[in-house]
Chain A
Amino acid sequence: MIRLTRRYRFSASHRLHSAELSEEANAHLYGKCNNPFGHGHDYQLEVTVGGPVDHNTGQVVNPATLDALVTQYVLQDVSNRNLNEEVAEFVSRVPTSENLMAVIEERLRGGWKSVFPGEWPFLDRIRLHETKKNTFEWHA
């Protein structure tokens, strides 16, 4: 078993605000991130796949195929976007990095079998760096 990780970068804006809470409670809970006009980050997304090394190609995955999957299902919809206003999932969900990673996971899993129909490679890990200081991680 070997794991291969690709790092992608995208910039997006968001506002952390819950419709379930009052203005005051939102301001208290999310602090600066509740700014009504929003703010943005240069996100870094790491996608890790696992599997055996193919004897012929020497690869666990073709990086270009993985790039195409991540671009189609994630990057093209979030890169240089306002997450709250332009990404369907965040009409009803607060675009915290936890929720953003869950959406990325759902989207990658949704497209996975169309690109990788076999047992390998599998989606092993997702890491989302919101800033250099905040990292969120999901494991299969």
Chain B
Amino acid sequence: MFITRRVDFSASHVCSQPLLSEAENRTLYGPAANPKGHGHNYVLEVTLDGEPDPLTGMVFDVKRLKDVLNEAVVEPMDHRFLNREVRPFDRVVPTPENVAVEIWNRLEPYFRGAKVRLHNVRLFETEDLYVDYGGDAA
């Protein structure tokens, strides 16, 4: 059974590569390359895979899940400039793909050894653009 918890956070970022010129970055990333940055209301949906515990009737305590999401994602990223304040985005371009992978990497250890498995991270950068990541970035 899958359970999904949604949280949101707001953050600013710049999509650009240091080895490219400003014009090249503009061509590649469009307005997202503006060096001063811009922001999004990110919406994150985290899905766990597991079976309900026979005693509690729960796959995972969603209060606990809420705390995990706050600690691993919202606290460090909400109202931050990702490139300047959240590692590894000082050196990794904070595209929605890379932010989703980083969120996966931060969350996955919380569920090691638990009866549930982190199944999917869905990150909405806007209502009209989202990425899904289930591990194995390749």
Residue numbers of A with Cβ under 8 A of B are: 1-8, 48, 52-53, 56-60, 62-64
Q: Are B98 and A53 in contact (CB under 8 A)?
A: yes
Residue numbers of B with Cβ under 8 A of A are: 15, 17, 28, 30, 92-98, 100-101, 127-134, 136-138
Which residue in B28, B97, B130, B134 is a CB contact (below 8 Å) of A53? Answer: B97
What residues of chain B lie closer than 8 Å to A52, measured between beta carbons?
137-138
Q: Are A2 and B30 in contact (CB under 8 A)?
A: no
> Across chains A and B, which 3 residue pairs bring their CB atoms closest together, nearest first?
A58-B93, A58-B95, A52-B138
**CB < 8 Å A-B pair total:** 57
- Name the residue of chain A whose CB is nearest to the CB of B17: A56
Give the CA-CA distance A58 to B131 in the complex, in Å: 12
A123 to chain B, nearest CB (A): 15
What residues of chain A lie closer than 8 Å to B138, measured between beta carbons?
1, 52-53
Give the CA-CA distance A2 to B105 in the complex, in Å: 14
What residues of chain A lie closer than 8 Å to B131, measured between beta carbons?
2-5, 60
A125 to chain B, nearest CB (A): 10
What residues of chain B lie closer than 8 Å to A3, measured between beta carbons?
131-133
A54 to chain B, nearest CB (A): 9
What residues of chain B lie closer than 8 Å to A62, measured between beta carbons?
28
Q: Are B129 and A4 in contact (CB under 8 A)?
A: yes
Which residue in A2, A8, A56, A63 is a CB contact (below 8 Å) of B101? Answer: A2
B99 to chain A, nearest CB (A): 9
B51 to chain A, nearest CB (A): 25
B83 to chain A, nearest CB (A): 12
